[in-house]
């Protein structure tokens, strides 16, 4: 692209003919449409996954009492597992497994990585589209098929997968229902989708940066997506391999993950044996840990963009942050077995992974510190987007710091598999990542629709979400210290009357009720968001310029919303990503494509 | 705006888009097969004596497949080089040769190697007495020699005892409450290319007998190398899977009748047989899928729908063939690793 002349938007030969509804909105190859497709699908599953959790919270708070209204519906759809509107232990397991699976693979990753990445990355680097638009479309449709398969599995006899989102063998393999088979097939589709997406993102960032967009000038969001794409590219295939092997165990009777001498329900299993349950755990967590960073890095990227924009000053330590995120990406591949301290894999192995786990906290702290430092002396604008971004920092901080006791194998012995773990990783992904994603929705909404979302209802959404999130997850730390296991379908009621080591403190069980009420409060708090989201498409405040937040990065230098092909003329980059409040400049921001 | 660097190189990276894409894709493939290789290592290291039943692979056939895949690697490069020289006819010739090699590879796997495993059975016995009885019945005075031979050739562990090695061969019939059904199960299965629903597998009290009556009382096994048919010298080779199920004379074999009450486990060499066959079928199956995918892409670029790009944008077409070739080399390379770990080591 040597010529920076006035190239017509509709010059490329795909858009000579007027596009039909189907090619424009359904089977689109435009990265922005695909981004929105991902975003809408992911938001739907975010709500669905949350709904599963609310049903589980009912069962925890009020064991074996019928759920009002929804209970009857569940019984009519799912049958005996929800008899009389009561969540049976089996259904609780189904919901638990699917809550994790849906939230991780079908909501957060597609929203953070695929939706925002697809929409924003090509715009921010000044590219007309992704490198491989048709591969991009294939990626979405593989994802969609995976989602359909996963959803359908609720309605097969026996219901969906029940062995947790981690699907440990031999439990996952020996359950007599087909849910796990559907889960595995769906996972293979989702992994295919993420593979296609990851290849596309990396190739796009390497190849399609606009003239002058050097690596040092990339917005941090692009760096975060770049590292995330590498994690997906290299960490997901081992899970795919493991999935294929577990599928073989399930349908071809092999024993990859089934040990010799396995008994199922008191009967010797008719298998050859000789497999290794630990093998599954290693392969799973080889994905599972980088996956944590796949969840968090896009959110950190969004938060960085929003913070720079709303403090009106450059991000503090841009180069440090880029270095940290690269180190983080690399280290995330060698910490996985800290999820497995209690498997008896041996002290030496545990010590190694304990060490790497402590080391990986360094780049995480660098990232967070840089973002905190960015606030210093900022002329802060308190928009809904920026408030979500600011609150991300302490929330992610709590999530990160409470992870340290889990990274040490001697403290992990007490806390493992307790509510403490749930509280820890939810602080990372729920008030952490999801707040980051909300910030992104409020921040980029005007670019996608040409209108802003309501700030008033946005702030209502923010404050209610913040309060209820903390009411849900803060007490869980205490429950975990009290020794409450995370896998009890009755919230520990069985152990309420026990004494000594077996008994649970009465307040731990009472806390269940508080948490559950907070969870339903959080659900109500999302109503303003949902209404605001749809209402603002037609009725929101119209933006008067293409760059309503006065931002420096390239995505705001396009028409609103950007047409197919994005830029009217080929942008040329002259500046770093965050030139806010530059001394001597006529305005407090200098777009990257403004000539020096 | 058009997407830049589709057919030209980006100056600072020196690459066109698809080349970056294919290398990234291959990196992910390395991780996919890498995970399976690591599973192989872990399963093999953890295998108890007499369970890693590796020595049954047909090495000459495997070598043949290796050679044709390497040959196809050469022709795929020649095809690309021909395009670079502008010789479209030569490209076509070389690429057809590539596809033929690939097809031959899959054909050998699908119609010969895999079915040979599915029609070959292992019997392990409930106790040492039973094991001895039937080894003697099958091999007469030679039985202890035979045990050593199986232990050495198949498990690479000469220390194995008679209770630790299976009696191995083809099932030529079965008995249902006294009635003998002389029935070349192996032959039937070959017609179906070893599809799973023709198996009769047995483990203790739980029988998986999908094409046989449930009240089966005994199976008749023609053990490998049991000396009853001098006209077929390959029967003497215990360690390699001969295809005597193909001979059409299955019913003439003098099988050993083994009552199911004395069998601990009866299994064909299917994936469920043992971790070795599980990983063998998974790895070769996944690899064969890659070969099939390669055939589809190679064919697409020979048909008019693919070759019209040659007329429009020859550079881009040549790039396409180059990336196809990179993928194809990767598929070859995987086999270069698979062959030793599954056949030789």
Q: Return the domain boundaries, chain A.
A: 27-257+275-557
- Ranges A388-392, A494-498, B179-183: which has the least confidence: B179-183
Q: Is the pLDDT of residue A269 over 90?
A: no
In the DSSP assignment, the letter for residue B100 is: H
Residues of A (107-166) whose Cβ lies below 8 Å from B? 127-129, 131-133, 135
- The chain A residue lying nearest B277, using CA atoms, is A254
The mean pLDDT value for B293-319 works out to 95
- Of the residues A253, A267, A573, the best mutation for testing chain B's interface (the one with the most B CB atoms within 10 Å of its CB) is A253
- Of the residues B7, B15, B27, B31, the best mutation for testing chain A's interface (the one with the most A CB atoms within 10 Å of its CB) is B31
Q: What is the Cα–Cα distance from B234 to A115, expressed in whole angstroms?
A: 62
The mean pLDDT value for A63-83 works out to 91
Q: Is the pLDDT of residue A16 over 80?
A: no
pLDDT at B182: 63
For residue B1, give the nearest of A7, A203, A254 by CB distance: A7
Chain B nearest C-alpha distance from A327 (Å) = 19
Chain B CB contacts of A133 under 8 Å are: 3
The highest-confidence range among A10-24, A460-474, B209-223, by mean pLDDT, is A460-474
Range list of β-strands (E), A130-285? 263-264, 267-268
% of chain A at pLDDT higher than 90: 84
Spatial neighbors of B313 by CB under 8 A, at least 6 apart, are B7
pLDDT at A384: 97
Cα-to-chain-centroid distance, residue B8: 42
pLDDT tens for A142-200 read 999 999 999 999 999 989 999 999 999 999 999 989 999 999 999 999 999 999 999 99
The mean pLDDT value for A34-54 works out to 97
pLDDT at B228: 52
Q: What is the Cα–Cα distance from A93 to A164, expressed in whole angstroms?
A: 7
Chain A CB contacts of B25 under 8 Å are: 195, 199
The mean pLDDT value for B37-52 works out to 93
The reply to whether residue A283 touches residue B39, judged by beta carbons under 8 angstroms, is yes
The mean pLDDT value for A464-490 works out to 93
- The chain B residue lying nearest A278, using CA atoms, is B42
pLDDT at B208: 47
pLDDT tens for A570-587 read 999 999 999 999 999 999
Task: Give the residues across from B202 on adjacent strands.
Answer: B207, B266
Helix (H) or strand (E) holding A411: helix A409-415
Residues of B (40-59) whose Cβ lies below 8 Å from A? 42-43, 46-48, 51
Is A263 at the interface with chain B, CB within 8 A? no
Residue B210 phi, psi (nearest 5):
-80, -25
The mean pLDDT value for B210-233 works out to 63
Question: ipTM for the complex?
Answer: 0.93
pLDDT tens for B115-170 read 788 778 888 898 899 999 999 988 888 888 889 988 998 998 888 988 889 999 88
Residue, of A536 and A12, whose pLDDT is higher: A536
CB-neighbour burial class of residue A137 (10 A; exposed 0-12, middle 13-18, buried 19+)? buried
Chain A nearest C-alpha distance from B15 (Å) = 8
Residues of B (131-160) whose Cβ lies below 8 Å from A? none
- The answer to whether the CB of B181 falls within 8 A of the CB of B172 is no
Residues of A (155-214) whose Cβ lies below 8 Å from B? 195, 198-200, 202-203, 206-208
pLDDT tens for A84-108 read 999 999 999 999 999 999 999 999 9
- The answer to whether the CB of A357 falls within 8 A of the CB of A336 is no
The reply to whether residue B29 touches residue A275, judged by beta carbons under 8 angstroms, is no
Q: How much is the mean pLDDT over chain B?
A: 83
The reply to whether residue A566 touches residue B1, judged by beta carbons under 8 angstroms, is yes
- The answer to whether the CB of A209 falls within 8 A of the CB of A593 is no
Beta strands B263-268 and B200-203: pairing type? Answer: antiparallel
Residue A528 phi, psi (nearest 5):
-55, -35
Q: Is the pLDDT of residue B196 over 50?
A: no
Chain A CB contacts of B208 under 8 Å are: 270
Q: What is the Cα–Cα distance from A160 to A172, expressed in whole angstroms?
A: 11
Q: Is the pLDDT of residue B197 over 60?
A: no
* Cα separation values, A582 from A386, A595, B30, B143, Å: 21, 14, 47, 91
Q: How much is the mean pLDDT over chain A?
A: 92
pLDDT at B200: 58
Chain A CB contacts of B13 under 8 Å are: 206-207
Q: Is the pLDDT of residue B194 over 50?
A: no
The reply to whether residue B272 touches residue A128, judged by beta carbons under 8 angstroms, is no
For residue B3, give the nearest of A129, A206, A253 by CB distance: A129
The reply to whether residue B208 touches residue A235, judged by beta carbons under 8 angstroms, is no
- Ranges A223-232, A429-438, A468-477, A491-500: which has the least confidence: A491-500
Q: What is the Cα–Cα distance from A274 to A272, expressed in whole angstroms?
A: 7
For residue B24, give the nearest of A203, A255, A283 by CB distance: A203
The reply to whether residue A241 touches residue B39, judged by beta carbons under 8 angstroms, is yes
Range list of β-strands (E), chain B? 121-125, 167-176, 179-182, 200-203, 206-209, 216-223, 256-259, 263-268
Cβ count near A51 (within 10 Å): 15
- The chain B residue lying nearest A11, using CA atoms, is B1
The reply to whether residue A252 touches residue B5, judged by beta carbons under 8 angstroms, is no
Q: Is the pLDDT of residue A240 over 60?
A: yes
Is B340 at the interface with chain A, CB within 8 A? no
CATH of A27-257+275-557, one of 3.40.50.10490, 1.20.210.10, 2.60.40.420, 3.40.190.10: 1.20.210.10
**Which domains are seen in chain B, by residue range?**
17-116+277-344 (1.20.120.80), 122-268 (no CATH)
pLDDT at A17: 52
The reply to whether residue A276 touches residue B48, judged by beta carbons under 8 angstroms, is no
Chain B CB contacts of A13 under 8 Å are: 2
Is A11 at the interface with chain B, CB within 8 A? yes
Instruction: Give the pLDDT band of residue A498 (cuts 50, 70, 90).
Output: low
Tokens, residue B182: 């002389």
Is B259 at the interface with chain A, CB within 8 A? no
pLDDT tens for A385-444 read 999 999 999 999 999 999 999 999 899 999 999 999 999 999 999 999 999 999 999 999
Spatial neighbors of B237 by CB under 8 A, at least 6 apart, are B224, B225
The reply to whether residue B39 touches residue A245, judged by beta carbons under 8 angstroms, is yes
* Cα separation values, B98 from A42, A218, B122, B295, Å: 43, 43, 38, 9
- The chain B residue lying nearest A10, using CA atoms, is B1
- Of the residues A29, A122, A240, A256, the best mutation for testing chain B's interface (the one with the most B CB atoms within 10 Å of its CB) is A256
- The answer to whether the CB of B264 falls within 8 A of the CB of B199 is no
pLDDT at B189: 44
Tokens, residue A575: 């500046």
Is B33 at the interface with chain A, CB within 8 A? yes
Chain B nearest C-alpha distance from A490 (Å) = 37
Cα-to-chain-centroid distance, residue A296: 7
Chain A nearest C-alpha distance from B33 (Å) = 7
Residues of A (218-257) whose Cβ lies below 8 Å from B? 233-238, 240-242, 244-245, 248, 252-256
pLDDT tens for B87-102 read 999 999 999 999 999 9
């Amino acid at each position: 692209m040597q010529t920076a002349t006035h190239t017509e938007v509709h010059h490329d030969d795909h858009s000579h003919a007027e596009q039909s509804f189907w090619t424009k909105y359904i089977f689109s190859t435009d990265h922005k449409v695909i981004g929105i497709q991902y975003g809408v699908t992911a938001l739907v599953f975010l709500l669905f996954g949350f709904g599963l959790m609310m049903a589980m919270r009912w069962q925890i708070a009020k064991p074996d009492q019928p759920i009002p209204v929804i209970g009857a519906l569940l019984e009519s759809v799912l049958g005996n597992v929800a008899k009389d509107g009561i969540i049976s232990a089996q259904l609780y397991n189904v919901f638990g497994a699917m809550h994790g699976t849906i939230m991780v693979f079908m909501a957060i990753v597609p929203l953070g990585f695929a939706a925002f990445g697809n929409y924003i990355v090509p715009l921010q680097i000044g590219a007309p589209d992704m490198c491989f638009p048709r591969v991009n479309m294939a990626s979405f449709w593989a994802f969609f098929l995976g989602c359909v398969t996963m959803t359908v599995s609720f309605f097969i006899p026996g219901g969906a997968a029940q062995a947790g989102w981690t699907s440990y063998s031999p439990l996952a393999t020996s359950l007599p229902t087909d849910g796990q088979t559907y889960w595995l097939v769906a996972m293979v589709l989702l992994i295919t989708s993420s593979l296609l997406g990851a290849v596309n993102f990396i190739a796009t960032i390497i190849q399609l940066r606009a003239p002058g967009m050097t690596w040092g000038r990339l917005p941090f969001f692009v760096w975060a997506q770049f590292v995330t794409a590498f994690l997906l590219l290299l960490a997901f295939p081992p899970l795919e391999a493991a999935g294929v092997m577990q599928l073989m165990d399930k349908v071809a009777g092999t024993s990859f993950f089934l040990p010799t001498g396995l008994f199922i329900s008191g009967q010797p299993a008719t298998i050859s044996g000789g497999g290794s349950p630990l093998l599954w755990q290693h392969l799973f967590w080889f994905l599972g840990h980088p996956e944590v960073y796949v969840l968090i890095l896009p959110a950190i990227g969004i938060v960085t963009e929003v913070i720079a924009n709303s403090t009106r000053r450059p991000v503090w330590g841009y180069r440090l942050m880029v270095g940290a995120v690269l180190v983080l990406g690399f280290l995330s591949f060698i910490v996985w077995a800290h999820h497995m301290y209690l498997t008896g894999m041996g002290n030496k192995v545990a010590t190694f992974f304990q060490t790497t786990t402590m080391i990986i906290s360094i780049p995480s702290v660098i990232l967070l510190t840089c973002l905190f430092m960015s606030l210093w002396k900022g002329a802060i604008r308190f928009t809904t987007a920026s408030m979500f971004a600011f609150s991300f920092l302490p929330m992610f901080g709590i999530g990160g710091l409470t992870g340290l006791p889990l990274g040490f194998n001697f403290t992990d012995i007490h806390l493992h598999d307790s509510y403490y773990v749930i509280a820890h990783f939810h602080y990372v992904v729920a008030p952490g990542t999801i707040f980051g994603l909300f910030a992104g929705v409020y921040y980029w909404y005007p670019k996608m629709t040409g209108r802003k979302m309501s700030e008033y209802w946005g702030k209502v959404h923010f404050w209610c979400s913040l309060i209820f999130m903390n009411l849900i997850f803060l007490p869980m730390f205490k429950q975990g210290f009290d020794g409450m296991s995370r896998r009890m379908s009755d919230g520990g009621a069985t152990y309420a009357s026990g004494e000594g080591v077996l008994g649970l403190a009465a307040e731990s069980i009472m806390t269940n009720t508080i948490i559950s009420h907070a969870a339903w409060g959080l659900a109500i708090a999302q109503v303003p968001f949902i209404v605001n989201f749809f209402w603002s498409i037609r009725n929101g405040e119209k933006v008067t310029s293409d760059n309503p937040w006065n931002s420096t990065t390239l995505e705001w230098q396009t028409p609103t919303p950007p047409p197919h092909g994005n830029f009217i003329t080929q942008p040329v980059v002259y500046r770093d990503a965050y030139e806010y409040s530059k001394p001597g400049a006529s305005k407090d921001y200098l777009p990257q494509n403004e000539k020096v | 705006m058009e997407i830049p660097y589709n057919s030209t190189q980006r100056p600072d990276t020196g690459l066109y888009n698809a080349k970056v894409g294919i290398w990234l894709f291959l990196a992910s493939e390395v991780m996919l097969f890498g995970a399976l290789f690591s599973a192989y290592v872990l399963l093999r290291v953890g295998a108890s004596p007499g369970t890693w039943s590796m020595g049954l692979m047909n090495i000459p056939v495997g070598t043949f497949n290796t050679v044709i895949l390497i040959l196809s690697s050469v022709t795929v490069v020649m095809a690309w080089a021909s395009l670079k020289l502008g010789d479209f006819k030569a490209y076509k010739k070389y690429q057809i040769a590539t596809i033929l090699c690939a097809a031959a590879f899959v054909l050998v796997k699908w119609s010969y190697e895999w079915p040979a495993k599915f029609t070959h059975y292992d019997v392990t016995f409930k106790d040492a007495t039973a094991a001895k009885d039937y080894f003697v019945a099958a091999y007469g005075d030679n039985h202890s020699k035979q045990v050593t031979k199986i232990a050495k050739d198949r498990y690479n562990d000469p220390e194995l005892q008679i209770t630790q090695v299976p009696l191995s061969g083809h099932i030529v019939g079965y008995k249902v409450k006294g009635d003998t059904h002389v029935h070349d199960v192996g032959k039937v299965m070959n017609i179906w290319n070893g599809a799973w629903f023709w198996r009769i597998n047995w483990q203790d009290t739980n029988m998986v007998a999908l094409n046989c009556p449930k009240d089966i009382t005994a199976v008749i096994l023609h053990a490998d190398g049991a000396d009853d048919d001098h006209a077929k010298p390959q029967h003497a080779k215990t360690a390699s899977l001969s295809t005597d199920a193909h001979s059409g004379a299955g019913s003439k074999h003098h099988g050993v009748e083994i009552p199911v009450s004395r069998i601990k486990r009866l299994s064909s060499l299917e994936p469920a047989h043992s971790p070795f066959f599980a990983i063998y079928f998974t790895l070769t199956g996944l690899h064969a899928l890659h070969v099939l995918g390669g055939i589809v892409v190679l064919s697409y670029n020979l048909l008019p729908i693919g070759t019209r790009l040659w007329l429009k944008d020859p550079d881009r077409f040549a790039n396409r063939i180059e990336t196809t070739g990179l993928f194809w080399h990767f598929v070859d390379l995987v086999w270069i690793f698979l062959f030793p770990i599954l056949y030789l080591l």
